[in-house]
Chains A and B, each alone.
Chain A
Amino acid sequence: MNRRRFLIGGATAAGALIVGYGLWPSRRLLHANMMAAKPGERFLATWIKIANDGAITVVIPHCDMGTGIFTSLSQMAAEELDADWSTVHAEAAPADPLFANTPMAEGFALEEANVKLDSIPSVLHGTTANSMRIIAEYMDLQTTGGSSAVRFTGMYGMRIAGAAVREMLMKAAAAQMAASVAAFRTEKSRVIHVATGKSFGYGELATAAAQYAPSAHAALKARNQYTLVGKPVARFDIPAKVCGAANYGIDTKVPGMYFAAIRISPVFGGKLVSVNEAAAKGRRGVKQVIKLEDAALVVADRFWRAREAAAALEPVFDHGNNAQVSSHTIRDAHLEALKNGQRKVDRSTGSGADGLKEGKVVERIYNVPYLAHAAMEPANATALYTREGKLEVWAGTQDGLGSRAFCAKSAGLSLDRVTFHLLPSGGGFGRRLPGQWNFLTYAVKSAMAIPGVPVKLIFTREEDLQHDYYRPNVTCQLRATLAPGGVHAWACDYTTDDAPNEEAHIFYEVPNQVYSTVKLPAPVPTGPWRSVEASWHGFFVESFVDELAQEAGRDPVEFRRGLLQKKPRHLGTLNLAAEKSRWSSPLPAGRGRGIAMFECFGSVVAHVAEVEVGGDGKIKVDRVTSAIDCGMAVNPDGVRAQLEGAVVFGLSAALFGEITINDGAVVQRNFPDFSVVRLRECPEIDVYIHESDGPVGGVGEPGVPPVAPALVNAIFAATGMRIRELPVKNHSFRS
């Protein structure tokens, strides 16, 4: 993500050791109380409010898109706070700079500096507290992405805030009894005077406690002292979601609201020439036709009326240069670039490319297609531009504060004239991250065309699928030479429309490595898709390692073990998946197992897929056995849910997923031609958590990359056929 790179660039340019918890001074707490505290409750530190009745609210600088982070982040705060879990709930932070996600900025910066929090002397904590807050605010940072919530916001924010508030509550109790803080302990939202047993509820202490400044140095628990973190807890958001009571962006209701339907140039970069306004305007409920540079919209009093009128618009577009682009021209350009294009070396270790001079070179080319996100809630946003020149927007995005700043910029307004209401998202997967907000742009422009009237713009599924920001189509050439018991040299060349990917760099022990990119412009908009760069490098690397094992005449698990002797975390995860899948047990003919593993977003995941190839050549995935090492599983049931979901998401892509381009436009229109896994294709999925004391990793994304290679490796085991271009549906098999 460019934003992340920019963020890190800004942070490291500051030159300081970047640590600081950004707990608020009292002046900022006052603003927070005015903005986001209800009567009878108040903020005690960033992210934590306590009410008079003892109710504890954890304020989350993220969106809820179904990964359960509102619950797991609350667990982390409540653990350090010694809160009574039954009184804890969570709410989304306002989209305001006051609630910019400082811990996330710290986390990314620390990751870049390869520094782990626990290894930093506490005397240095807080030294640059303000610099990170300034960066987070400057970046409008409230992003939910990069599997960063628990490992950054939780580790560097919620834990510290919880511990600070606990200390403030103890100070308040100590003052009341004129005793020292050391005379008290805390348990289940009570401060207890150890000697007398006299105790105070957090609610009764909250007002007095708020008079103290939150400290960035309050003692944190060791992992073995946790009683709440590490326990499977029920998610806060689920009861509303089984009753139809959860309100997503698309459910926004504003009095007097109109609806808009859109027709965007099917060819990327095309311009609107004309529309048949008369065909739309005579219809019941139609209010206005809006012509934008690359799209036409119909605004009506009901969505279906807007949609039908939009369908009748007969828009004419000037397609521009992209009309020459099709999937086969893209493929040819990739292969030509890898053959003759300008390569830029990104990294070289050992003797680099010279390592290929010894022994037989194994060479393979792999390709992954463009992919849409296809979240279940189609892109939508509601916007009101008042006659006083203020803008109010409602939508589900993966960055509330960033969205507000983006809408302000789109409208040419200052930030203080724009309000953004962040609502839960019906799936994100990267589609709602910064840089991919065409739905916000169109909604804001529509609202500004009809001042005083709220307008809800909803993309049809067809517009959503055809105007996404796609997972890039990437082609990769891998070359290697073998050594006794391992790999001697590894060379990786791949196409990119962006900077080199650190995810290309293998974690296996290979003495000579070289990585090069060939840059090509993207003829379609591209963007982050669940696991981003790892989604393609996982497929390339783990398919190729399997092929190398075959070349070496070795079992794929054994072969990997040989390359991971100095990596206990990886080895343990691999072994757990192998053991639980009964890797060595025989299978009948026509069936096969494949293994693959990957490390990304701070976690290691291994999958074993077991497939059955029928006499008719049909592939059935029977079972996927997964192991994850995420350092610490805050909510183990939530970790399992994310891994199950990652397997299904990865299988949808590997089996069926492709967006193809014809004459500059996306061919696929809706779910029949953009197939996804449904219940009948869903394998049994067993997830195992590899216990370790490693650094805390993410869980939303790391499960995706090893799915596709585990699948094709299993198909190879079952059929002897090697798939190097996804999706699997484009290949035919005989077992």
Chain B
Amino acid sequence: MAIHLRVNGVDHEVDVEPDAPLLWVIRDELNLTGTKFGCGIAECGACTVHLNGKATRSCVITASSAENAEITTIEGLGAGGLTPVQQAWIEYQVPQCGYCQSGMIMAVSALLAENPAPTDEQLAAAITNICRCGTFPRLRAAVRSLAKSKLPGDRP
């Protein structure tokens, strides 16, 4: 059965079961391997993508449920060049092994689109992704710098 998916602005027809997990369809049918498998039960967030701009853990949702959504993966995030979040990730040298970072960046990007200047508490409540290397202090510093640039009076 063909399922229609729109990913990073490109339309795809994939021949998979309707209940195939979106994560694996993205990785193995569409060859977009930046989205990672971490736990398979939406606990760790390594598989986070955007569905209509909303951060979504793709390992537990079915391909068919994403049929009418605009799907964005890490590969599509900075299609027109690095986003401010990605630039801040480089400036603050956030990643270590990097495996969770696609999901982290997708989750943070969705949060900042909604709330450009989150407090530490809002950030911690929204970003529940797991990172075993312990990049949280740098993630926090990077988001603080992005938030600061959005506050009135602080923009250059």
Contact = CB atoms under 8 A, between A and B. Distances in A.
Interface string B11-23: 0000011001100
A677 interface: yes
B138 A676 contact: no
B133 interface: yes
Interface string A407-449: 0000000000000000011111100000000000000000000
Task: In the A-B complex, list the 6 residue pairs whose CB atoms are closest, starting with the nearest.
Answer: A244-B34, A648-B134, A426-B99, A66-B97, A241-B98, A244-B74
B136 A304 contact: no
A649 B124 CA distance: 18
Given A66-B96, A68-B96, A248-B99, 14 more contacts: A235-B93, A239-B90, A244-B32, A244-B35, A376-B133, A427-B133, A461-B40, A644-B137, A644-B138, A645-B134, A649-B132, A652-B132, A679-B140, A685-B137
Interface in B102-156: 102, 105, 123-125, 127-140
B133 A679 contact: no
B33 A678 contact: no
Given A244-B73, A376-B36, A676 B43 contact: no
A682 interface: yes
Interface residues of A, number: 60
A368 B105 CA distance: 35
A677 B129 CA distance: 10
A202 interface: no
A394 to B, nearest CB: 13
B46 interface: yes
A428 B32 CA distance: 24
Contact of A303 (B24, B102, B129): B24
A507 interface: no
Interface residues of B, number: 57
A646 to B, nearest CB: 7
Contacts of A458: 37
30 contacts: A66-B97, A238-B89, A238-B93, A244-B34, A244-B74, A247-B33, A302-B16, A302-B24, A302-B28, A303-B24, A376-B97, A376-B100, A377-B36, A377-B38, A461-B39, A461-B40, A641-B135, A641-B138, A644-B134, A644-B135, A644-B138, A645-B135, A646-B134, A649-B132, A670-B43, A678-B124, A678-B129, A680-B125, A682-B134, A682-B140
Contacts of B16: 302
Nearest to B86: A242
A378 interface: yes
Contacts of A461: 38-41
A645 B96 contact: yes
A259 B29 CA distance: 13
Contacts of B39: 461, 670-671
Interface of A: 65-68, 234-235, 237-248, 250-251, 253, 259, 284, 302-304, 374-378, 424-429, 458, 460-461, 637, 641, 644-649, 652, 670-672, 676-680, 682, 684-685
Contacts of A304: 20-21, 24
B82 interface: yes
Interface of chain B, helix or strand or loop or mixed?
loop
Nearest to A245: B34
A601 B16 CA distance: 51
B24 A246 contact: no
Contacts of A376: 36, 38, 44, 46, 97, 99-100, 130-133
Contacts of A652: 132
A13 to B, nearest CB: 37
A640 B116 CA distance: 28
B145 to A, nearest CB: 15
B95 A66 contact: yes
Main secondary structure of the interface of A (DSSP, over half): loop
* Residue with the highest number of chain B CB atoms closer than 10 Å, among A376, A646, A672: A376
A591 to B, nearest CB: 19
B37 to A, nearest CB: 7
Contacts of B43: 670-672
B75 interface: yes
Contact of A243 (B78, B93, B94): B78
Contact of A429 (B21, B44, B132): B132
A375 B37 CA distance: 12
A267 B129 CA distance: 31
Contact of B33 (A244, A303, A648, A677): A244
B92 to A, nearest CB: 10
Given A67-B96, A645-B134, A684-B137, A243 B38 contact: no
A417 to B, nearest CB: 29
Given A242-B105, A641-B138, A250 B95 contact: no
A356 B65 CA distance: 70
A253 B37 contact: no
B86 to A, nearest CB: 4
Nearest to A234: B93
Interface in B22-64: 24, 28-29, 31-41, 43-44, 46
B90 A641 contact: no
Contacts of B129: 678-679
A242 B94 CA distance: 9
A677 B136 CA distance: 9
Contacts of A427: 97, 99, 132-133
Contacts of A677: 134, 136
A679 B107 CA distance: 13
B118 to A, nearest CB: 11
A65 B82 CA distance: 24
Nearest to B85: A242
Contacts of B124: 678-680
A634 B152 CA distance: 39
Given A378-B38, A679-B123, A679-B140, A244 B133 contact: no
Given A244-B35, A244-B102, A682 B137 contact: yes
A374 B99 CA distance: 13
Nearest to B97: A66
Nearest to A232: B93
Nearest to B24: A304
Contacts of B125: 680
Contacts of A426: 36, 97-100
B93 to A, nearest CB: 6
A461 B125 CA distance: 24
A652 B136 CA distance: 13
A654 to B, nearest CB: 13
A518 to B, nearest CB: 32
A485 to B, nearest CB: 38
A303 B40 CA distance: 12
Contacts of A237: 95, 98
